[in-house]
């Protein structure tokens, strides 16, 4: 009977699935599958929010992405860093202490002479050594107030302890609304006012195509070098013109806590809006992209007012129209035409004169003949009130009398109908 020695006995574990010997191979196969899943590509695709984010990054402005959990904020930042070939450094703000951003005190050889320097964290040192990168401050709305206070200098002055981040580093943050954040806090007004706030939403088509392996490509805006001076002048005229007409918008701190944690107007955020307009103008960005950026800097209300004033910057000068009413080119859009006529009447009011008054009437006639006649009703009524006793009524008024009287008659009928009981259902 043969004797089976221990060395000759078959190793049962060698053929048993799931043993330690087989696990490295199985993990390698799993790694290959994960690599295939991560193997995605990008394509040029219109995406207003991605273009707005990229333009703000190019303008070297801190950006804060707001969105519900799982919406793709972190993935978007990862793709942005890859597309721009910037090393990505992610810092979860809520798991750090204030000293991690303000610096840790380090006692030197002679503190009385050299002082006590504030040592920066390792991630800041790596960014300085690289000279460029994308600093991603994630979960900002879960950072307690003390940490938010420590972030003020980092976001605005780009300083961490004794270090200053190089110009090649850009700062982007992400946050969830307090209602959906884990133990969330509202952003403090000083910190919120340092960011361009972008509401990050998902496009189902982009998500489906991305899960299929193709995501939108983030590209840096192409700035026209020849257009830079004109873009700066345009941005300054837009912001300064609005704030001159609406000085109450220079600084308006919201009354409730939630709105204070978002975009609101201040001298700092108006400077941000000015820079964004200049960059968007030089890059030829669409009005939708500019709207996202401007409203993300100063808030929805002031942002919409600024966007409306941008349309008026390209309007003809009222003085030029008064100088040549016969050859005047009026805008086709009704709101812009109304703005031009109002500006003409205001110019006559500010510097009254018989010739200017007559020229304004000629312009109103031209507007009534080439567009919607009802647009001239209010300017004509206002202009008529500016007449001096020694000014003869110009013949042009007769040509507008029918329009004005018809408008007034329609108003009286509408008021009578509204005042009569029981007419609404007839």
The residue extents of the domains of the chain are 44-216, 225-313, 318-416
Name which of 100-114, 154-168, 183-197, 310-324 the model is least confident about.
100-114
> For 74-100, what is the mean pLDDT?
87
Q: What is the pLDDT of residue 406?
A: 41
Measured CA to CA, the distance from residue 378 to residue 71 in angstroms comes to: 49
Q: How many secondary structure helices (H) and strands (E) does the chain include?
A: 19, 11
- State the pLDDT confidence band at 265, using cuts at 50, 70 and 90: very high
CA dihedral defined by 188, 274, 66, 210, rounded to 10 degrees? -160
Above 70 in pLDDT, residue 214? yes
- Residue-averaged pLDDT of the chain: 83
Tens digits of residue pLDDT in 102-153: 877 777 666 666 677 778 888 999 999 999 999 999 988 888 889 999 899 8
Give the CATH H-level superfamily of domain 44-216. P-loop containing nucleotide triphosphate hydrolases (3.40.50.300)
Written as six digits, the tokens of 61 are 């402005």
> For 240-267, what is the mean pLDDT?
90
Winning range, highest mean pLDDT, from 122-136, 335-349, 410-424? 122-136
Above 80 in pLDDT, residue 193? yes
Q: Are 375 and 365 in contact (CB under 8 A)?
A: no
Tens digits of residue pLDDT in 389-406: 888 877 767 667 655 554
Bigger pLDDT: 317 or 362? 362
Q: What is the DSSP letter of 121?
A: P
**Residues forming beta bridges with residue 118, ordered by sequence position:** 105
Q: What is the DSSP letter of 218?
A: P
> For 248-270, what is the mean pLDDT?
92
From the number of C-beta atoms within 10 Å of its C-beta (0-12, 13-18, 19+), residue 360 rates as buried
Q: Print burial letters for 218-248: b (CB count within 10 Å at least 16), e (below 16).
A: beebebeeeeeeebbebbeebbeebbeeeee
Above 80 in pLDDT, residue 407? no
Above 60 in pLDDT, residue 424? no
């Amino acid at each position: 009977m043969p004797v089976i020695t221990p060395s000759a006995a078959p190793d049962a574990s060698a053929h048993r699935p799931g043993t330690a010997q087989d696990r490295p191979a199985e993990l390698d196969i799993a790694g290959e599958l994960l690599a295939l899943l991560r193997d995605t590509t990008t394509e040029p695709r219109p995406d207003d929010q991605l273009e707005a984010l990229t333009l703000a990054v190019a303008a070297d402005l801190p950006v804060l992405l707001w969105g519900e959990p799982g919406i793709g904020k972190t993935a978007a930042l990862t793709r942005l860093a890859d597309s721009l070939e910037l090393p990505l450094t992610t810092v979860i703000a809520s798991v750090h202490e204030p000293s991690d951003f303000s610096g840790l005190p380090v006692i030197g050889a002679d503190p009385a002479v050299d002082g006590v320097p504030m040592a920066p964290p390792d991630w800041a040192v790596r960014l300085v050594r690289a000279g460029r990168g994308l600093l991603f401050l994630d979960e900002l709305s879960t950072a307690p107030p003390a940490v938010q206070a420590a972030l003020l200098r980092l976001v605005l002055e780009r300083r961490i302890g004794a270090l200053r981040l190089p110009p090649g580093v850009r700062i982007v943050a992400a946050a969830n609304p307090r209602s959906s954040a884990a133990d969330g806090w509202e952003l403090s007004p000083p910190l919120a006012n340092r960011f361009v706030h972008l509401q990050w939403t998902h496009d189902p088509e982009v998500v489906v195509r991305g899960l299929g392996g193709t995501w939108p490509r983030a590209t840096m805006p192409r700035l026209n070098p020849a257009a830079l001076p004109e873009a700066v002048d345009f941005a300054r005229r837009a912001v300064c013109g609005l704030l001159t007409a609406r000085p109450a918008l220079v600084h308006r701190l919201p009354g409730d806590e939630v709105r204070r944690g978002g975009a609101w107007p201040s001298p700092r955020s108006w400077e941000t809006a000015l820079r964004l307009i200049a960059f968007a103008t030089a890059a030829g960005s669409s009005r939708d992209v500019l709207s996202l950026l401007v409203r993300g800097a100063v808030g929805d209300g002031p942002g919409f007012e600024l966007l409306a004033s941008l349309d008026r910057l390209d309007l003809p000068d009222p003085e030029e129209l008064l100088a040549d009413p016969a050859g005047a080119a009026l805008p086709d859009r009704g709101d812009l035409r109304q703005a031009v006529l109002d500006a003409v009447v205001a110019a006559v009011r500010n510097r009254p004169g018989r010739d200017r008054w007559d020229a304004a009437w000629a312009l109103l006639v031209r507007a009534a003949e080439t567009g919607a006649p009802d647009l001239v009703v209010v300017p004509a009524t206002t202009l008529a009130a500016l007449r001096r006793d020694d000014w003869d009524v110009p013949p042009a008024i007769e040509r507008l009398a029918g329009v004005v009287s018809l408008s007034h008659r329609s108003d009286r009928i509408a008021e009578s109908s509204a005042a009569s009981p029981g007419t609404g259902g007839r």
